[in-house]
Amino acid sequence: MPTNEVWMPGLLLAHMATPFLAGLVVLTMTAIAKDGDLKWAEANDAALDLVILSIGATGPLLLDDRFRKNFSPYIAVFGIMLVLVNLLLAGALVARRKQRKDLSITFGNVLFDFVLGIASVVMTTWAFYFAYTSVGG
């Protein structure tokens, strides 16, 4: 493979899958080390961690030379919009934490939180995919 080509699976593995798996490791250790039963707040924290991971993963996307060259005037707007949408998802999770009364950990209680967290990861992964396939060939 020539050095100027981007290998998409490797890129996604480096910028999205590795931090995602590290987050799962931290979540697993937190669940194992917790005294007593898990509560809904831990699931909400995990979803919020996924959103934070997605915000952090946006930086490498905006620093890539090929992407900056192709979208030069719009790269900042693209990155800002991606981060702002992720922040809106984080805000929804924080608001949900404030309003939540039933703290039991059931499928129905955690589904919406995990959907928001996974949506954030999917959106950022899609941005990487779009940047390196549609723009760069």
Token couple for 29: 């250790």
2 found inside a domain: no
What's the total number of domains in the chain? Answer: 1
Residue 94, pLDDT score: 93
pTM exceeding the 0.85 threshold for the entire prediction: no
Residue recorded with tokens 């929804």: 92
Output the pLDDT for position 84.
Answer: 94
Q: Residue 82's domain spans which residues? A: 8-135
Instruction: Summarize pLDDT for 15-72 with one digit per residue, the tens.
Output: 778 777 877 787 788 778 877 777 788 888 888 988 988 888 887 777 777 667 766 6
Does 3 map to a domain?
no
- The pLDDT, as a whole number, for residue 1 is 46
26 domain residue, yes or no: yes
In a domain, 70, yes or no: yes
In a domain, 98, yes or no: yes
Give yes or no for a contact between 40 and 103, defined as CB atoms under 8 angstroms apart.
Answer: yes
What's the rounded Cα separation, in Å, for the pair 126 and 62?
14
